[in-house]
Amino acid sequence: MVDTDFSKGNPMFWQKNSQTQSTAQVDEPPDFLLEAEQILARPDMLSMAAGIEPTPRPLRLMLSAVDGTEFDSAINSLFALLHGPNGRYRKIAAFAFGQFGFNPEPLTEILRDRCAADPAPDVQRALSAALMALQAASGPSEASQLARRRQMWSFYRGR
């Protein structure tokens, strides 16, 4: 066995060598559309029992589809996730709506209603952050998705 600070029982090894990411990388908000896509690709049993069905294709592809039916199916899948039994999934769906930037009035009205009705304070905060980002959104462009994610994350975390 090679002698290292750790193998000698030195706990400082982890403090010295585990800080490989800068604080900017650690504080970067997650890609909520990707997280929602992963959940919707293989919903858990509780979600499926609540009516959340797996998406036939990756969510991002469905949202960028020329076919209006596929786009509507993707939005409906996100709505199902937003109304599901899992609070973490509801929060991710709220952030995904804000990140995508699609903000017709009926959608924002549904998100406002959901914000008032959701029992979880963290989901309510996520919905508020998404609504704030949607209010400032100019469209579902890739370039501004990162900016909306950062804006929502900052608002959600109270900065």
| pLDDT value of position 102 | 86
Using pLDDT thresholds of 50, 70 and 90, give the confidence band for residue 27. Answer: confident
Backbone angles phi, psi at 43, to 5 degrees: -60, 150
Mean local confidence (pLDDT), 31-56: 97
DSSP per-residue letters across 20-54: -S-HHHHTSPP-HHHHHHHHHHS--HHHHHTTPPP
- What percent of the chain clears pLDDT 90, i.e. is strictly above it? 64
Residue with tokens 């009926």: 106
Using pLDDT thresholds of 50, 70 and 90, give the confidence band for residue 141. Answer: low
| pLDDT value of position 28 | 86
- Domain ranges within the chain, ordered by starting residue: 29-156
| pLDDT value of position 17 | 43
pLDDT surpassing 70 at residue 18: no
How far is residue 128's CA from residue 116's CA, in Å, rounded to a whole number? Answer: 10
pLDDT tens profile 99-125: 998 888 899 999 999 999 999 999 999
Query: For residues 106 and 76, is the Cβ–Cβ distance under 8 A?
Result: no
How far is residue 70's CA from residue 75's CA, in Å, rounded to a whole number? Answer: 9
Query: For residues 45 and 68, is the Cβ–Cβ distance under 8 A?
Result: no
Mean local confidence (pLDDT), 62-67: 91
Max avg pLDDT among 8-17, 24-33, 109-118 = 109-118
How far is residue 131's CA from residue 108's CA, in Å, rounded to a whole number? Answer: 7
Query: For residues 145 and 33, is the Cβ–Cβ distance under 8 A?
Result: yes
| pLDDT value of position 48 | 96
Task: Tell which residue, 72, 139, 67, 68, has the closest CA to residue 99.
Answer: 139
